[in-house]
Homo-oligomer: A and B are copies of this chain.
Amino acid sequence: MPLILVTNDDSINAKGVHELIRVLLKIGEVVCVCPEMPQSGMSMALTVNSPLMVKRLEDYHGAKMYKVNGTPVDCVKIAVDNLLERRPDIVVSGINHGSNAAINVVYSGTMGAAFEGCAYGIPSIGFSLTSHDENADFTPCLPVVENLVKLTLENGLPEGVCLNVNMPKGYAEYKGIRVVKGCKGRWDDHYVEYTDPARRPFYWLAGKYVNEEPENTNTDEWCLANGYVSVVPVLLERTYPNLSEFKWISDK
């Protein structure tokens, strides 16, 4: 039986992770280690200057359940380093309530956990549904999750690569699964300004995503707009490959 580590960024109370656990119990032994509090937008943040508390909860349909007062990366680290009796065969993060397509991959706590699994050399996948509804219908996602987790357990992933899987809301069934690149785009964001009761200003982030290549059919955003599941293989490595372009810097 494969050992499956489950985590997320929407917290142990989110519907998405409970749906995920139930489908993964068909494939293997499941241990779920999730943040106690929502951690959206936490990227690969980890807790270094304060301690973590871990609480074992009641089993859920046979899955062991823990909550941690930390980030998604903390959950993966403490699970692999302390809580699990053996190294997991796969790390599965999600199902996120909201898209992690395009540039969102860099901010996503869901994908932060997947990148951390990848840093351990464990095949890792983040799953997201493009709905922020806390009661979102994950039913169409479940066969996709089952299929991709089984395929990944069979095939493995290249070293340093994990998968960012996004699924569009509002479909009873998807048109297919496509391996594509993260769409080029940016957040056209701004801060809405408020005044607190003591007349001090405060600010809340708002904005909308601008797709900079809407005609490109080989992007995750295209898939999501057209009823397909997008799978973007993503790299943990950060070094730009063409170092020779920087001759103007080196003095040796």
State how many angstroms separate the Cβ of A225 from the closest Cβ of chain B: 15
Return the chain B residue nearest A71 by Cβ. B45
- Across the interface, which residues of B come within 8 angstroms of A103, CB to CB? 119
- The answer to whether A190 has its CB under 8 Å from any CB of chain B is yes
- Across the interface, which residues of B come within 8 angstroms of A233, CB to CB? 239-240, 243, 245-246
A120-176, CB < 8 A from B = 120, 148, 151, 155, 158, 161, 164, 175-176
Indicate if the CB atoms of B232 and A249 lie closer than 8 Å.
Answer: no
Q: How many copies does the complex hold?
A: 2
CA of A194 to CA of B201, assembled, Å: 41
Return the chain B residue nearest A193 by Cβ. B82
State how many angstroms separate the Cβ of A230 from the closest Cβ of chain B: 10
CA of A200 to CA of B47, assembled, Å: 19
Select the residue from A106, A190, A235 with max chain B CB neighbours within 10 A.
A106
Give the number of chain A interface residues (Cβ < 8 Å).
76
CA of A252 to CA of B181, assembled, Å: 15
Q: A228 with B240: in contact, given A179-B246, A202-B51 (CB under 8 Å)? A: no
CA of A237 to CA of B184, assembled, Å: 9
Return the chain B residue nearest A40 by Cβ. B48
CA of A73 to CA of B151, assembled, Å: 36
Indicate if the CB atoms of A234 and B228 lie closer than 8 Å.
Answer: no
Q: Which among B47, B203, B251 is the interface contact of A41 at CB below 8 angstroms?
A: B47
- Across the interface, which residues of B come within 8 angstroms of A52, CB to CB? 191, 202-205
Q: Which among B107, B161, B240, B247 is the interface contact of A44 at CB below 8 angstroms?
A: B107
Q: A54 with B205: in contact, given A48-B40, A176-B251, A239-B234 (CB under 8 Å)? A: no
By a beta-carbon cutoff of 8 Å, the part of chain A in contact with chain B is 38, 40-49, 51-54, 71, 73-74, 77-78, 81-82, 103, 105-107, 112, 115, 119-120, 148, 151, 155, 158, 161, 164, 175-182, 186, 189-191, 193-194, 200-205, 228, 231-240, 243, 245-252
13 residue pairs bridging A and B, Cβ less than 8 Å apart: A42-B45, A52-B202, A81-B190, A82-B190, A103-B119, A106-B115, A120-B186, A175-B252, A176-B251, A178-B252, A231-B250, A233-B240, A235-B240
